[in-house]
Structure 1
């Protein structure tokens, strides 16, 4: 099995910041697509850690479990959107994301928002993954 996804980073535009993501990801025909709703750092028992770091780690574990249930990994992510409460939070979230993604480049966006659906949540992410089996 292979993802078959192709990165697009044209030399005619500025490269992605620190080459940690791709400007675009092309998904080949006949790929399976997985659309993942916004995920937060809630533990399996529904409790939410207090710190941004713990919430981000738990969110990544929740995403890992969802991907695994579809026979996918972080390498199959095509588009990743994150929503943080401040620009400083994006730095913390991105450090954890970069470690968890371990060099996987995906189209990614991080946005500062004024709030999430639950005031206890500090970070949320949704994504699209694709895999060609």
Structure 2
């Protein structure tokens, strides 16, 4: 099966070194790959609790994305497009740190990060929407 291909052409601004493991300008998904579209995940744990600080909410939102990946027989390295919605620009440095610790990859996804005025509930500080793709087959399911 063909592999996913990252595109970072020299005709675009070069991704700074600290972001090279967490950002690609583009990702090409070959025909026949399995795609998983993950709805925006917020920092709500399985019991419905929401932390009141950015880092634990972000960690939970990432765990929720990872749970969806596992359910589809995928992993974080299969992420091809991630969109982050934050309610405070001051949290960007913490987001970068968490991404580097948890989702750094030699094949990073395409990424968009937006600072928005609000999310669906006032206590939500981050929402993560993602798309994953793999050329591996999977026979499981939930």
Q: TM-score, normalised by structure 1?
A: 0.93
Q: Runs (4+) of structure 1 moved beyond 2 Å?
A: none
Alignment partner of 1:120 out of 111, 119, 123: 123
Structure 2 gaps of 5+ residues are 137-142
- Is this contact kept in 1: 2:84–2:112, CA < 8 A? yes
Q: How does 1:1-133 map to 2 (within 5 A)?
A: 4-18=3-17, 19=20, 20-103=22-105, 104-133=107-136
**Normalising to structure 2: TM-score of the pair?**
0.88
1:67-120 per-position Cα deviation (integer Å, ceiling 9, x unaligned): 000000011111000000122112211211121113351100110000000111
| Gapped regions of structure 1 (runs ≥ 5) | none
Q: Distance in 1 between matches of 2:27 and 2:108?
A: 9
